[in-house]
Amino acid sequence: MQALFQPTSTCQAGVCNKPATVNCDDGLECTVDACNATSGCSKSNKPWGTACTNSALSYAFCAGSLCTGLEKVSAQVGGGSVSNGALFAIDRYGGTGGKVYSAGADTSSNPLNGIVANVVESPQLGLQFNAAINSNSALLAQRNRLTVGGRSDDSQARAMVLNPVTGFWTTTGAPVLTGFERSMRGMDMFLGANSAETYVMGGNQAGGGTPNQIGRTTWDGSAWSTIARMTVSSSKANCAQINVNVRGVYAASGTEVFLTGHYTASNANRTGVAFWDGNTTATCGNASGYNGVAYVDTTAYTQSFSAVVNTGAVPAMGQLTSVHGTGGKNVMAAGTHGTIVAYDGAKWSQVTPAYTGMPLAWSNGFTVGSVYLTGSEAWLTGTVETGTGGSTCRQLWLLHGTVDKGVWTWNKQIVSANNDLAVCSNESSVRAWMQANAVWVDPATGSVYVVGSRGANGSNVATVNNPSRQVELLVRVKMK
């Protein structure tokens, strides 16, 4: 809608000077243009998340003055491109200056191979095969120059590192993880003295009472340190060791590291956030040989969290599988059965997203695959199942919110329709291939990425609008 402004006429040398009419319309659908006889043109942005029109994108919405939306991308680059696979993690090497890579698994082979793919940003976004680990492996976590995972039978942890000169990933010179019996599933990095990069990682506990699968290693610019094995205690005073299945890691600093997971205590299934303050404690109870103890002790650390798993409650308390933040006083953890908890520097609180006009009301049926915080914003992604019987669909969703003084407000939820961002089948094993494993905000461009998988299972059972195989999922929301 045009907004016309007529500047005030003036007399100059006895002649009436009438300036040309000014059109205040900036041509942007996501702005509201106005004019004032005195002050002239002005504009304001429509509310964040307002629907807009962009034929090149799906689920278009306003983000500031920009009309953006989901841009669906698949592996289309030739010469070793990924055709069948699942992606689990994504990050840009070097913060803002390097390339974007995504780690996962190539499911076209048997046994499958762990892969790292180069996310080609121009001229066409796609996935180009970069390097692989054979021997039935998958790479599940990635940060900067390191990616970790393990064998698909969860019997051995594995790692690959980036050679920044060649741009390729390799096992040569990677940290040795042979002391870990299970796959690493979560990892993050913090910078120490002289910009040394310390990576904290964790995975499922091994069988037979084997201690926690948690460790850290440091890249000093020329070599990796020997893995320092860590453990978890339910008490700082007594160092009562517990075995935690670690699924997510967020390192705010060298003295503020959060690990999410689940464990058993007092014959109850529990989930929680273990907090590591940077200590190098070597003994926990009667067990020694560690280098650092994380605590699930809410009396000693407000940063820690512990709760009994109760999937029947409303809101439910499911297993926490992902964690991220913008520092030690703004952290969010989330997981199964719609569970979201947030930390404001003083306490953890359970969060239930809601806003007027929300397409699908939040419920225990949502699975949060990943959470990512940047500035005062949060992006969450996952899947939700709707319908019954043969019309049951597992759908991708994406959620955006903002925080102010510890209070979260939600303003945009996207739930995929019955297309290739959803899998519809009466077989749960088929729907299981629809996964949203990680959401990530690119610090260089501000774009939001979601990686995962879609398609059918190994039985080649076709699904609605999906190929009869598992293929990688990669979608992007541009923010500039």
Short-list 207, 205, 196, 192, CA closest to 257: 192
What is the Cα–Cα distance from 88 to 157, expressed in whole angstroms? 16
Tell me, yes or no, whether 94 and 28 share the same domain: no
Tell me, yes or no, whether 19 and 103 share the same domain: no
Number of domains observed in the structure of the chain? 2
Helix (H, G, I), strand (E, B) or coil at 275: strand
Tell me, yes or no, whether 39 and 57 share the same domain: no
Q: 26 lies in which domain range?
A: 4-43
Short-list 125, 186, 132, 184, CA closest to 158: 184
Residue with tokens 């590591």: 276
Tell me, yes or no, whether 292 and 304 share the same domain: yes
Tell me, yes or no, whether 25 and 53 share the same domain: no
- Cross-strand bridge partners of residue 451: 438, 474
Tell me, yes or no, whether 77 and 39 share the same domain: no
Tell me, yes or no, whether 50 and 103 share the same domain: yes
Tell me, yes or no, whether 302 and 396 share the same domain: yes
Tell me, yes or no, whether 150 and 34 share the same domain: no
Rg (CA), the chain: 25
Residues in CB range of 409: below 8 A, 6 or more apart: 355, 401, 402, 403
185 phi/psi in degrees, rounded to 5 = -120, -20
- pTM given for the model: 0.92
Tell me, yes or no, whether 12 and 39 share the same domain: yes
For residue 231, the model assigns a pLDDT of 95
Which segments of 156-267 are extended strands (E)? Answer: 157-163, 168-170, 184-191, 197-203, 214-219, 228-233, 241-242, 245-253, 256-265
Structural contact between residues 259 and 274, judged by C-beta atoms closer than 8 angstroms: yes
For residue 207, the model assigns a pLDDT of 62
Short-list 410, 360, 414, CA closest to 386: 360
For residue 114, the model assigns a pLDDT of 87
Instruction: Check which CATH number belongs to the domain holding 415 and give it.
Output: 2.130.10.10
Tell me, yes or no, whether 17 and 68 share the same domain: no
Q: Tell me the pLDDT of the chain (480 aa) as tens digits.
A: 455 555 566 676 666 766 666 778 888 999 998 887 777 788 899 999 999 999 989 999 999 999 999 987 754 444 455 667 789 999 999 988 899 999 998 877 666 788 888 888 776 677 787 888 877 788 999 999 999 998 866 678 999 999 998 889 999 999 998 788 888 999 999 999 999 999 999 998 766 556 789 999 999 999 999 999 999 999 999 999 999 999 999 999 999 999 999 999 889 999 999 999 999 999 998 888 899 999 999 999 999 999 999 999 999 999 999 999 999 999 999 999 999 999 999 999 999 999 999 999 999 999 999 999 999 999 999 999 988 666 788 999 999 999 999 999 999 999 998 666 888 777 787 788 889 999 999 999 999 999 998 875 444 444 444 445 567 788 999 998
Tell me, yes or no, whether 119 and 28 share the same domain: no
